[in-house]
Amino acid sequence: MTQTTPEAPVRRQRAQVKVRTLRTDRWWLVPLLTFLGLSSFLVYGVWAIIDNSFFVDPYVAPFASPCLVEAMCPDGARLFGWAPIGEWYTLSPGLLILGLPGGFRLTCYYYRKSYYRSFWLSPPACAVQEPHGKYTGERRFPLILQNIHRYFFYAAIVIGLVLAYDAVLALIHKPEGLGTWILVINAVLINAYTVSCHSCRHITAGRLNHFSRHPLRYRAWTFVSKLNAKHQQLAWVSMFSVMAADLYVRLVAKGIISFPYA
Amino acid sequence: MSYKAKFKVWRGEGGEGRLEDFTVEVNDGEVVLDIIHRLQATQAPDLAVRWNCKAGKCGSCSMEINGKPRLGCMTRMSTFEEDETITVTPMRTFPVIKDLVTDVSYNYQKAREIPSFTPPADVKPGEYRMQQVDVERSQEFRKCIECFMCNNVCHVIRDHEENKTNFSGPRFLMRIAELDMHPYDVADRQEAAQEQHGLGYCNITKCCTEVCPEHIKITDNALIPMKERVVDRKYDPLVWLGNKIFKRAK
């Protein structure tokens, strides 16, 4: 055992443990599943942008809604019959709007945790050493742009309302359709995920120090806080629901799903 | 019922050391700290371990058990298989004094850098009037027992020693959030949180929340709200404009 003497003072350094982690559980499983889940969403999103079978009356695929392109959007797919983007634009309608919900998820506090862990391994799991030699966090470009999350939240509120409107239209025109109920469930989950956002929690009343002076905002904050506790679960469920709803509408539009109550 | 468990315990001083193997008796109802004490009593009388209450309330016996930051007194032996080798090491982020005892003075230094509660100049002690709803958010953070496992597990300093100068860790960013949310605190906490205490280093991977023995939602209730307040202050032009035009009060 090393002795401490005036000639050999105790060196103040960490325990020299030479392994990356001493964890014995399957710490790699969650980041791996997260990586696969988020990757599948990205791959599906790219395919959905390329694919043009996004409408079959009265269903609009969520990845293409609101459909704003005159040349690409049939009358029933347009939001209030409105298509402000002229015939000059011939690319996918989804390309125009996916940046908003995509940016909302990209800058979401939960998704940040998940992709920092699973894609960037910073860290891959708690008490597992990350592979990077240097770390500056969210203080510099580009990661300082994460601070615009609240603006994506405002946009996501609009997109959520549009999806709810699409679901209501489907309910009116085809209440017996399976696709209608898939769109309704998706709209509920998307809006629940949006409202459970940390920025929403801050905006309702989180920024206040005197809740007692703002009882209505405090009640709203209390409600959002309850949803916020489930933000992670809502993030995953809504991500898969929007993929499932979008895929269903496209399969119906392509005629691959064609039973009477589709 | 008792059985013989296999332990690997880190032994050494000043960072240099090794994992030593022990086989030690375990009885029903015991926790890891009991086993460390039995090692001291029977096989390694000079084994150093910091402990006090044995009830999960003093925060002294923070250590890493099978690689995870845990309180030795709150980690039941029944959570391990009988044939499992249990590895016990000191907290990795802080310098070792001896064996399982680390020098946590980094934390006290960071605590001293935070200005204490600062009420308005015209409000005297005894004149504070607060509603319960105004203070209960901060009360969650007062449950902290200062075990420093959140600072230990935070990769910002655990994996990058050089960041210790500029980053105070979740424990003290939570303290700043507690003060910033206080209805009677008037000090500028947001600028200090970002510029002096390194809130921007936090990438909200929530390890602090995962290891907290008091189950404080450090990330969701302190760090993210504090980040949002910093956005109000530094990065959101609309909020800045609104505050200027309407002179909004908090």
**Touching check for A216 and chain B: CB below 8 Å?**
no
The pLDDT confidence band at residue B246, using thresholds 50, 70 and 90, is confident
Q: What is the pLDDT of residues B1-53, one digit of tens each?
A: 899 999 999 999 987 899 999 999 999 999 999 999 999 999 999 999 999 99
Point out which residues pair with B24 in neighbouring strands: B5
Specify burial of residue B78 (Cβ count, 10 A radius: 0-12, 13-18, 19+): exposed
Contact A17 B134 (CB under 8 A): no
Residue of A nearest to B209 (CA): A126
Q: CA quadruple A137, A142, A148, A152: dihedral positive or negative?
A: negative
Say how many CA atoms lie within 13 Å of B193 toward its Cβ. 31
**Touching check for A129 and chain B: CB below 8 Å?**
yes
CA distance A200 to B123: 33
Comparing A121-125, A195-199, A257-261, B77-81, which segment has the lowest mean pLDDT?
Answer: A257-261
Residues of A in contact with B230 (CB under 8 A): 147
Residues of chain A with pLDDT > 70, as a percent, come to 96
Residue of B10, B133, B180 lying closest to A15 (CB–CB):
B10
CA distance B150 to B211: 6
For domain B2-102, give the fold: Ubiquitin-like (UB roll) (3.10.20)
Query: By three-state DSSP, how is residue A108 classified?
Result: coil
Q: What is the pLDDT of residues B52-64, one digit of tens each?
A: 999 999 999 999 9
**Touching check for B148 and chain A: CB below 8 Å?**
no
CATH class of B105-246: mainly alpha
Q: What is the pLDDT of residues A77-121, one digit of tens each?
A: 898 888 888 889 888 889 999 999 999 999 999 999 999 999 999
Q: Could you tell me the residue ranges of all domains in chain A?
A: 29-132+141-254
Question: Considering only CA atoms, which of B142, B219, B184, B188 is closest in space to residue A209?
Answer: B184
Residue type, B164: K
Q: What is the pLDDT of residues B115-159, one digit of tens each?
A: 999 999 999 988 999 999 999 999 999 999 999 999 999 999 999
The pLDDT confidence band at residue A76, using thresholds 50, 70 and 90, is confident
Structure tokens at B110: 């960071």
Q: What is the per-residue pLDDT for A214?
A: 97
Residues of chain B with pLDDT > 70, as a percent, come to 98
Residue of B11, B155, B225 lying closest to A123 (CB–CB):
B155
Q: Is the pLDDT of residue B88 over 90?
A: yes
Residue of B202, B235, B250 lying closest to A147 (CB–CB):
B235
Contact A22 B163 (CB under 8 A): no
Q: Is the pLDDT of residue A4 over 50?
A: no
* Averaged pLDDT for residues A159-187: 97
**Touching check for B45 and chain A: CB below 8 Å?**
no
Size of interface A-B (CB pairs under 8 A): 170
The pLDDT confidence band at residue A1, using thresholds 50, 70 and 90, is very low
The pLDDT confidence band at residue A11, using thresholds 50, 70 and 90, is low
* Averaged pLDDT for residues B101-120: 97
Q: Is the pLDDT of residue A7 over 60?
A: no
